[in-house]
Chain A
Amino acid sequence: MDIQSCVEVRNEWDIVSARQLGRNMAKELGFGNVDQARITTAISELARNIYLYAGRGKICIEPIDQLGRKGLRIVALDNGPGIREIRKVMEDGYTTSGGLGAGLPGVKRLMDEFSIESTVDVGTEISATKWLR
């Protein structure tokens, strides 16, 4: 089993690489096909945000084991402009990309655990975990 693997995100192709990495690791861990799709989509959304708003960052994925409970953790990191109003960004219906239902609240619902830290002009770190059922 791999330890943490990371993908640099600088362009749209990197989003695909991050997805691929995530799907492989999820499959290896034993996630079912729907959960694989969910994890991959979560990675996709986070990578896309990095690409659209920060320009550059990275997605790190690692398998985790907590007292026998297995899961997969995704961490999205960037040194971009940061999020000014985190509360607003976590509210349903708020969207800057004109998409329907996606955004960070959507990612949060795809995964089991979610946390976000962001400082204006410094950067953003988002962490999301899905547990094996």
Chain B
Amino acid sequence: MTAKDALTERYQDLLSVYLKAKTETTLYKGQQFSRKLLEQQISPEDLVSLHIQVMDELFPDMSEEMRDSFDFLLEAMIGYGFAYREHQSLRDKQQQLESEIEVAASMQQTLLLSDVPEFDQLDIGVVSVPAKKMNGDYYNFVKSGNSLSVAVADIIGKGIPAALCMSMIKYAMDSLPEEQMKPHLLLENLNRVVEQNVHSNMFITMFHGVYEPESHKFYYAGAGHEPGFFYHAKEDEFHDLIAKGLVLGVSRTTTYHPYEKMIEVGDMVILLSDGVTECRTSKGFIEREEVVALIRKYMDLPSQKIVENVFQELDRLQGFELRDDFTLIILKRLV
């Protein structure tokens, strides 16, 4: 008996049972059977044909009109068959695309991976989570001589185009002699590169800073990036870390303002992307004060634990669905 005969027989059995005693159980069995049919890739019009065949068998005296009506139904089903087969094909295509994105995402991970460097005076914590598979947020640490530089950037535009832009920035940054660089000059350089190379609707926000352990000074500059926070241990107060500047890529001639801050023992520099401040809870957008409150809650833990805990709480508040890439970095001066 061929597979088709087996199916026909089974369908006939189920249908006969149902016609004799219209029970819910049989209907349920009918549904489960359709699952089997789908597994065998039986199309809608095949099923109608099966039905016709079985009905012929069960009711050889079926009226002419009844029989003809089934032929009509068969024709109508062909359209559904079209849609069904296209759906199958598109699903296969989608699976293929998904695995291609996986490959691209892991490639990006490898290329853009920035190790969090060990740095004597500082306890560094980093969390960076993409909303989609590829991250539009970018952070980079570079140890150069005695100093540590840190950059956080956000490309406007999500998904694959954004991430490709990010790769471009990383390579631009890696090839600039950073020891000589002051953050505001680095931004000026980068701005020119970006302006010439991105689509007119794209722009990049960025914050760049350099910590010099001898002077305990943190030099920084910003290009339209969401302000971070600065925690002043002596006052036990959090302040906004303002670094005003125009986003990268708008105008070739933009200049950036250099800022600096003295970092004392116990102080923290907190950098973030707007995925943090764009968290939406049931009550609406999260306020910056709430983010500060969260940091304060975990403040005494090591930096990595602080950022992870803050992320987990915000993630939970949003129902575990990120609206935007989320990046949070904390530098705490230990000695």
Q: Do chains A and B touch in the complex (CB under 8 A)?
A: yes
Q: Which residues of A contact B (CB under 8 A)?
A: 32-34, 37-38, 40-41, 92-93, 100-102, 105-106, 109
A33 touches B49 (CB 8 A): yes
Can you add 5 more A-B contacts, CB < 8 Å, to A33-B74, A41-B75? A33-B49, A41-B78, A101-B84, A102-B79, A109-B85
A92 touches B45 (CB 8 A): no
**Chain A contacts of B79 at CB under 8 A?**
100-102
Separation of A55 and B81 alpha carbons in the complex (Å): 28
A105 touches B86 (CB 8 A): yes
Given contacts A32-B49, A92-B93, contact A37 B75 (CB under 8 A): yes
Our pick among B71, B82, B85, B89 for the contact of A33 (Cβ within 8 Å) is B71
**Chain A contacts of B86 at CB under 8 A?**
92-93, 100-101, 105-106
B78 touches A37 (CB 8 A): yes
28 A-B pairs with CB atoms under 8 Å apart are A32-B49, A33-B49, A33-B71, A33-B74, A34-B46, A34-B48, A34-B49, A34-B74, A37-B75, A37-B78, A38-B78, A41-B75, A41-B78, A92-B86, A92-B93, A93-B86, A100-B79, A100-B83, A101-B79, A101-B82, A101-B85, A101-B86, A102-B79, A105-B89, A106-B85, A109-B82, A109-B85, A109-B89
Separation of A92 and B71 alpha carbons in the complex (Å): 28
> Is B35 an interface residue when CB atoms closer than 8 A count as contact?
no
**Chain A contacts of B87 at CB under 8 A?**
101
B74 touches A37 (CB 8 A): yes
**Chain A contacts of B265 at CB under 8 A?**
none
Separation of A41 and B87 alpha carbons in the complex (Å): 19
Separation of A32 and B93 alpha carbons in the complex (Å): 32
**Chain B contacts of A100 at CB under 8 A?**
79, 82-83, 86
B82 touches A102 (CB 8 A): yes
A106 touches B45 (CB 8 A): no
Separation of A37 and B78 alpha carbons in the complex (Å): 8
B82 touches A106 (CB 8 A): yes
9 closest Cβ pairs, A-B complex? A101-B82, A101-B86, A101-B83, A34-B49, A106-B82, A41-B78, A92-B89, A109-B85, A100-B83
> Is B181 an interface residue when CB atoms closer than 8 A count as contact?
no
A41 (CB) vs chain B CBs: closest residue: B78
Contact with A along B77-108 (1 / 0, CB 8 A): 01100111111011001000000000000000
**Chain A contacts of B45 at CB under 8 A?**
34, 37-38
Cβ distance A70 to chain B, nearest Cβ, rounded Å: 20
B90 (CB) vs chain A CBs: closest residue: A92
Cβ distance B24 to chain A, nearest Cβ, rounded Å: 30
A91 (CB) vs chain B CBs: closest residue: B93
B78, B84, B87, B90 — which one has the most chain A CB atoms within 10 A of its CB?
A: B78
B52 (CB) vs chain A CBs: closest residue: A33
B90 touches A93 (CB 8 A): yes
**Chain A contacts of B74 at CB under 8 A?**
33-34, 37
B45 (CB) vs chain A CBs: closest residue: A34
Separation of A109 and B71 alpha carbons in the complex (Å): 21
Separation of A33 and B70 alpha carbons in the complex (Å): 11
Cβ distance B87 to chain A, nearest Cβ, rounded Å: 7
Cβ distance A81 to chain B, nearest Cβ, rounded Å: 25
Cβ distance B47 to chain A, nearest Cβ, rounded Å: 10
A107 (CB) vs chain B CBs: closest residue: B82
Separation of A101 and B43 alpha carbons in the complex (Å): 14
**Chain B contacts of A40 at CB under 8 A?**
75
A93 (CB) vs chain B CBs: closest residue: B90
**Chain B contacts of A109 at CB under 8 A?**
82, 85, 89
**Chain A contacts of B89 at CB under 8 A?**
92, 105, 109
